[in-house]
Structure 1
C-alpha cells in the first residue's frame, strides 16, 4: 500500500508541520508527502490564488504519475482550508483514489457557516471521503450529527520518541521554600492572543507578587510577539525571558529547564502538540478543556484543567503546585509515562498505518471507528 499525505511547507510554523516532521523522521517508506498551502510569504490575494492553482496542478500531476492507494488530507475547520482541501478531495475521488480526511484545528466559530449556510458544499465534497480522523470526541459527534456515516477514527497528535530519551526529571528538596526559590514556568506556542499569551503574562504578574523568585519563559513566534514584548516593557514585569521560535536542542533545553507548563488557550485547537510534549518531559500542565485535551486530561493527576481565563484563578492553580513539590514530582512522573504510552511517534504512526490498512481494505476499526 502506498499513501500520499498533503502537508504544509516546512517554513510554516504550527502543529501540523511539526506533526509531519516527526512522522517523516520515523515513518515507513509507504508514506510520501506533497506540500500544499502558502509558504509563509504570500500576503496578497493574487499570490494566494497563484499558489492555490499551482498546488492543484502539482497534485493532479502527482496522483496521475504515481500508483497511490490512499490519500490523507489535513484541513482545519475553517473556510480557507475547506475550499482548498475540498478541491483536492474532489480531484482525488475523480481519479479513483481512496481518501482519509484528518481534521486538525477545529474553529467552532465557523461551524454555523460551514455546516449550515455552506452545508451543501461540505456534504458534496467531504462526504466523498472514505473515512475521517478527528482529534476529539466532540468533533466526531458533530460530523456524525450532520450525517457523515462512514468510519470516523479518533487520534492524537505526536511526540518524537527521542523526547523520551531526553527526559530528565528534576529532584527537589521537599521544602516549599526551597522549591519556590527556583520555580520556572514555560509558555510555548505560536504567539497570538487566542493562545492565551496575555492571560499567561497577567497570571505571572499576580504570582510574582506572592512569589518574587518565580520566572517565566515565552517561546514561539507569531504576529503578536512584538506587541507582547511592548506590553511586558510597559508593565515593567521582570523575570520574563523571550526565547522566540525554538526547535531541536533549544526546545529540549526549554522543557528541561521548566518546572510547570502553562497554556491557557482559547484557540480552535485540535490537540496541541506542546501539551503532549510538556507531559513527555515530565511537566505538570495547566491548560483549558479545548479540543481533544478534555478527552484524556485527568484534572489533578496531570496538572490543572480549568475553564477560567482569569489571571487570578490561573495564578492560584500554579500556586497549588509551587507549594507542593511532592505533587509536582508525582504528576511529572505520571505525565511522562502516560505520554510515552499514548503519544510517542512509534505508537501514533503504527495507529495511522492501521487506519490506512482498514480504509484501504474497506473495513471498520472496532476500537476507533
Structure 2
C-alpha cells in the first residue's frame, strides 16, 4: 500500500521563515452582466432537466412549486448572487456539482425525485465523505479521526473502488475523499477516479501534504473536480501550531497554487475555534482567500470528538452570530460579490435540521463503516458488501432509522 508505515510523531512547530502568499487569478465572476447571463443559463438548464425527468406539464408545475418551497425553507428571502467559473464549469455552492456536467444532472435528478418521484428507486444521497487512510504526518488540534490515526490500514484500493461503485450506483453526485491525509494514497486516488463512471464530482480533502504540482496534474487528469485545503488561520505561525507542523502553511499555499494551475476548484476549509472567531480574523481570512483566487471558504465549527474529546470547544452565542453574519455578508451581500463564496452549513442546519445519516449525506470511516457524519461517530453497519454481513441497503436503512445525534452547536 502506498501509504507505508508513518511513525506516530508529534510535530513541534518551530519558527519558520515567512511563506509568501501567492496572488492567483480570481475565479468568482465579477461582472454583473455575466452573472445575470449565467443564472439565466442555470434556469434554462434546470427547466430542460425537469422536462426530461417529468414529461408532463402537470408534474412539471408540481415540481416547480415544491422546489420553490424547498428554496424558501433553505434560503428564506436570501438570493444566491455569486458564481465561480473553473475549467469551463460554473459553481454556485460548494456541496453542489458544477454545471454543465453529468454530476450536476444527477444532483438535480435526485433532488427532483425527492419532491416528485419519477424513478423506481428511493435513493436520496447527494454526497459521501469517504475516509481512505488512517495515515497522516500531522497532529491537528481538532482531528476527529485521532483515535484511528496511524493505525494499520483496513481499506485496500479494491475496497475503495467497491465503495465508489456502490455509491455511484445510488446516484451520489459528489464524493469527498478524506483521511488521515488522503494524498498519501495519491496513486490509489488516481486509479479509483480514473476508473469511475461519469456522474460524480470527486474532491480530495488535504492539508497540502504531498500536493505537488505533478500530483495536482495527475488528479485533474484522472477526473477530480476540486481540492478542499485545510487552512485554519490567516497567520502562518498560528496555522502551523494548530496543525502541529512547521510546514503546514507552506503546504497549504503550494496546494492552492498547484490546484489553481491545473484547473481544480479550490475550497479553503476553516475550523473556526474560540481563539480564532473574531470579526477581524474572519475578514483577514477572507482577504487571504481572495488573494489566493479560491472559489469557496468552508466554515466548520469545532466539535468535542477525536482530539477534542472531553474538551469544551463550543463557540459562544456571540461567536456563532459572528459566523452567521460573516456568511450572510460574504455570500449574499452586495459588497463582496467578487470575493470567494462562503459555505456555512451550520446556519441552515440550525434552521431546518441535519441532512446527514444517509438522508442527503453520510460518512464512511477508515474501516469502511457508516456514520451519520464525520462528527456524529457511531458505527451503523459496514459499507463493504463482503465486510461484516448484511448489505449496504440494510446498513443505510439502519443509519436512516438511527438518524443524527441531537444538534447543539457543532456542524460539518
Q: State TM-score, norm by structure 1.
A: 0.31
Structure with max Cα Rg: 1
Choose between structure 1 and 2: higher helix proportion: 1
Q: State TM-score, norm by structure 2.
A: 0.29
